[in-house]
Every structure is written in structure tokens, then in C-alpha cells.
Amino acid sequence: TTHSQIDEYSKKRTAEISEAVSSAIEKVVADTATQQQKLLSDAKERANAIEDEYKQRLQERLAQLDADKAILLAELERSLNERQETILGKARQDIDLIQNAANEKKMAVFKEAQVRANQQVDQITEKVAELVAEDAQRRLQSTTQTIITTKSIATGENHQSSANHASNATTTTSKTSESH
């Protein structure tokens, strides 16, 4: 029964080989799983290191950008303040020019009014003198001698009120009567 022994031996040997192959495959699978686990662990560790380095560099860059931004904003503020001061200075100058022009116009109007007032005072003084002379002449037609002295002083100085304008009218009448 050699044939059955060979069969038996063959089966036993095939089973041993199959078991050895299965064991070897299991070992390879286990080693592969361990290596893959180590690879994943290393990859995760490296990814974390890269992430930490990136975060650090990002924080440094953000800090630098914030510092640059602060410098630019300070320069902008200074520039805007200078421009605003220039604008306000120009506005002050324009307002001063407008006020000076208005004051000059007011002064011209005042001077013109003062000249007109002086002319009116002179006209009134002359009219009063004429009326006084006419009245005196009517009253004393024949032998009355009338002397009218009119003195008018009018000054056109700036900022003087019309109270400073003096007009003086003096009428001196001397009479001699004649009987008819």
C-alpha cells in the first residue's frame, strides 16, 4: 500500500506546506500591516510637523503684515492730517479774504454815505441861509441892511459821526427905519 502511503504522505506534506505558506502569508500580512501602521504614524507625525511649521510661519507672516499695515495706516493718517490742515488753512485764507473784501465794501459804503450826508448838510445850510436872507429881505425891504454870515465846516474823515460835522449859521441884522 505504497500508493496509499504516498497519498497519505502527499496529503500530509501538502497540508504542512499549505500551513507553512499560510503562516508565511499571515506573517507577511502582519508585517505589512505593521509597516503600513508605521508609515501612517510617520506620515501623520510629519504632517503635524509641517502643519505646526506652517502655523508658526503664518503667525510670523501675519505679525509682519500687521506691522506693515500699522506703518501704512500711520503714514496715511499723517498724510491725511497734513492734507486736512492744508484744506483748513486754505479755507481760513479764503474766509479772511472774503471778510476783508466785505469790510472794504462796508467801509466804501460808509464813506459814500458820509460824503452824501456832508453834501446834504451843506445843502441844508445853504438853503437855511437863503431862506433867512429872503425872509429878512421881505421884512425890511426899503432901508434895512442885512448881513448874513454863514460858516459851514464839514469834515469827511473816516469813522466820524455826523455829530462832528458842524454847521454854523449866523445872521446879523441891522436896521434903520425910514418914515414915509
Q: Tens digits of per-residue pLDDT, 49-72?
A: 999 999 999 999 999 999 999 999
Give the phi and the psi of residue 177 in degrees, each rounded to 5.
-100, 140
Q: Is 132 in contact with 147 (CB distance < 8 Å)?
A: no
Predicted local confidence at residue 49, as pLDDT: 97
The percentage of residues in the chain with a pLDDT greater than 70, rounded to a whole number, is 77
d(CA 13, CA 2): 16
Of 69 and 4, more confident: 69
Q: Is 146 in contact with 135 (CB distance < 8 Å)?
A: no
pLDDT tier at 25, thresholds 50, 70, 90:
very high
Closest C-alpha to 100, from 88, 90, 112, 92: 92
Q: Is 165 in contact with 121 (CB distance < 8 Å)?
A: yes
Element (H, E) at 105: helix 2-139
Domain boundaries, the chain: 2-174
pTM listed for this prediction: 0.41
d(CA 152, CA 132): 15
Closest C-alpha to 115, from 160, 75, 65: 160
Count CB neighbours of 129 within 10 A.
19
Q: Tell me the average pLDDT across 17-22.
A: 92
Cell of 178: 425910514
d(CA 10, CA 69): 84
d(CA 6, CA 171): 181
d(CA 101, CA 139): 56
- CA angle 143/147/150 to nearest 5° reads 155
- pLDDT for residue 86 is more than 50: yes
Predicted local confidence at residue 64, as pLDDT: 97
Predicted local confidence at residue 83, as pLDDT: 97
Of 41 and 147, more confident: 41
The predicted-structure confidence for 135-145, as pLDDT tens digits, reads as follows 877 777 655 45
Cell of 68: 506693515
